[in-house]
């Protein structure tokens, strides 16, 4: 009589592997999610710093800050990864650049920023909310 050798996995072994993968995913996903929010905040910060730099260049040339977005950032009114809408407000002597999280893009309600959806930077270097800049 020949002994039959079975190849493959039993249902129990397969269920153990699936449950281990499930446990690993529940541990890894929150960390991944918070890391992605941090990366998106950097997207907004980089865009605001670039706009502020362009405003300073504008001030050096014209002795006034621009209130027109097209003068300091022609073409694009969003952050490089399109996670934030950018805006500028100026009275000529001061300016504030703002990045507002795009609804549904994963940044609205960011817990590190205290749930704030807007990040701002002024000509005096005032950054708000401060938690978003750390």
The whole-number pLDDT of residue 95 equals: 92
Query: Is the CB of residue 90 less than 8 Å from the CB of residue 65?
Result: yes
The segments of the chain whose pLDDT lies below 70 read: 1, 108-109, 114-116
Give pTM, 2 decimals: 0.75
Q: Which residues contact 52 (CB under 8 A, 6 or more apart)?
A: 95, 97, 121, 123
Fold classification of 11-133 is Glycoprotein, Type 4 Pilin (3.30.700)
End-to-end CA distance of the chain: 73
The whole-number pLDDT of residue 16 equals: 92
């Amino acid at each position: 009589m020949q002994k039959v050798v079975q190849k493959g996995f039993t249902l129990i072994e397969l269920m153990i592997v699936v449950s281990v993968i499930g446990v690993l995913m529940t541990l890894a996903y929150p960390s991944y999610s918070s890391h992605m929010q941090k990366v998106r905040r950097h997207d907004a910060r980089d865009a605001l710093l670039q706009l502020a730099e362009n405003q300073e260049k504008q001030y050096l040339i014209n002795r006034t800050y621009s209130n027109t977005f097209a003068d300091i950032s022609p073409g694009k009114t969003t952050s490089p990864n399109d996670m934030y809408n950018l805006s500028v407000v100026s009275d000529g002597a001061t300016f504030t650049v703002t990045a507002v999280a795009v609804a549904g893009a994963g940044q609205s309600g960011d817990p590190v920023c205290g749930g704030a959806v807007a990040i701002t930077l002024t000509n005096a270097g005032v950054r708000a909310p401060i938690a978003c800049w750390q």
